[in-house]
Amino acid sequence: MNISFEEFKKCDIRIGEILSAEKAENADKLLKLEVDFGEFKRQIVSGIAEWYKAEDLIGKKLPFIVNLEPRKFKGVESQGMLMAVDGEDQPILLEPAGNTKVGDKIV
């Protein structure tokens, strides 16, 4: 399905730094992340617990979509979405290179 460029421009994609991470209760595959975007913080739930340990994610700067409507997963609210590559064996985290700062927008 194609979307217009105007629709795509509505996505607010920013670099966030993971401040804390833990397995979500009653959910084997979900991690609950607290993410700092500079001007604000968000709780984001991601289905990557099968491949990544919570403690290994703390301090990582990764891209997130921050303007999605909040959604609950197994009773835990997510206020955004982690962006990753759909790898063959596991999701691949997109770690930015260079002098990237918390809150930087992906354009």
Q: What is the pLDDT of residues 58-70, one digit of tens each?
A: 999 999 999 999 9
CATH domain 5-93 topology? OB fold (Dihydrolipoamide Acetyltransferase, E2P) (2.40.50)
**End-to-end Cα separation, the chain, in angstroms:** 21
Residue 26 pLDDT class (50, 70, 90 cuts): confident
Which tens digits make up the pLDDT trace of 81-91? 999 999 999 99
Q: How many CA atoms lie within 13 A of 10 on its CB side?
A: 6
Distance CA 102, CA 94 (A): 14
Local structure of 55: helix, strand or coil: helix
What whole-number distance in Å separates Cα of residue 88 and Cα of residue 85?
A: 9
Per-domain boundaries in the chain? 5-93
Whole-prediction pTM: 0.92
Residue 90: strand, helix, or coil? coil
Query: pLDDT confidence of 107, banded at 50, 70, 90?
Result: confident
